[in-house]
Every structure is written in structure tokens, then in C-alpha cells.
Amino acid sequence: MYQGLQHLHSYLAYAVLLGLVISFVSALLGLFGGKQYTNADRKRSLLGLIPTHLQWVFGLILYFVSPLGMESASGEAMKNSVSRLYFLEHPLMMVLAVILITVGYSRAKRQIGTNQGFKSIAIFYGLGLVLILSRIPWNAWPGN
């Protein structure tokens, strides 16, 4: 079960990144194109929100069943950069990214009919994407 969950978490990361990039670029195009944020744009922004939330759920489960997660919670783990990444840095940054992305979507859905919906998506999804990219354990990705 652990290995299957680990693979699912790794491969779903591609969908998260793709969805966030599509949502972010779409928001930038709408923002700089002077368009109004519509219900279709709100649905497009779900491409970034839904995979991110699914990834967070699978990551949370993985955190508690993985020997790299809660089981490595000790003072010694803080001295080892790899252990610290899996135990503290990666989960913390991902939770912050999920919060930012959720706030951005929530703000934008209330701004339908204005240009401000694109601004909310661009800012919050962009910040979330930067946090995610900063703490992905690239050496553990499939294919490496």
C-alpha cells in the first residue's frame, strides 16, 4: 500500500503542476487582456484547485504511513537535510501552497464580472506554484 500511495503522490504532482500552470497563464492572459472574469474562467481555475487538494489528501495520508514522515520526528531529523525536507519543509510549504490556492479561488469566484478575479488567481496561484516548486523533492521524482 505504501509504495502504491507513494507512486500515486509522485505522478499526481504532474497533474498539479500542469493544472496550476494552465490556471496561472490563463489568469495572466485575462488580466493583461483586460477581460472580465467569467464563470468559464472560474471553472478553468478549478484545473489548479482540484488536483492540488487531491494531492494534499494523498500527501497527508502518506505523511502518516511513510517512514520519512511522522515516524522520523526527532531532533536528529532536523540535523539531516533530507530528513528535514520530508518531515518538515515539504509538508509545511505544501500546506501553505494549498491555503494560498484555496484563498485565491475563493476570492476569485466572488469577483465574477470584474477583472479582479484574474488578479486573485494570478497572485495566489502564482505564489502557491512558487512554494510547491521550491520544496518538491526532485531527486525522488519518477524517472530519477
Query: Above pLDDT 90, what percent of the chain?
Result: 67
Whether residue 117 contacts residue 37, with contact meaning beta carbons closer than 8 Å, is answered with: yes
Question: Is residue 78 predicted with pLDDT exceeding 90?
Answer: no
Q: What is the domain partition of the chain in residue ranges? A: 2-136
Q: How far apart are CA 23 and CA 87, in angstroms?
A: 29
Q: Could you tell me the three cell numbers for 32?
A: 493583461
Range in 66-75, 79-88, 129-138 with the lowest mean pLDDT? 66-75
Task: Single out the residue of 24, 11, 34, 55 nearest to residue 128, CA to CA.
Answer: 24
The per-residue pLDDT for range 24-38, each reduced to its tens digit, is 999 999 999 999 999
Question: Is residue 54 predicted with pLDDT exceeding 60?
Answer: yes
The whole-model pTM stands at: 0.89
Q: What is the mean pLDDT of residues 48-71?
A: 88
- Give residue 82's identity as a one-letter amino acid code: V
For residues 111 and 76, which has the higher predicted lDDT (pLDDT)? 111
For residues 140 and 56, which has the higher predicted lDDT (pLDDT)? 56
| 30-to-117, 122, 131 alpha-carbon distances in Å | 9, 10, 23
Q: Could you tell me the three cell numbers for 91?
A: 509538508
The per-residue pLDDT for range 15-24, each reduced to its tens digit, is 999 999 999 9
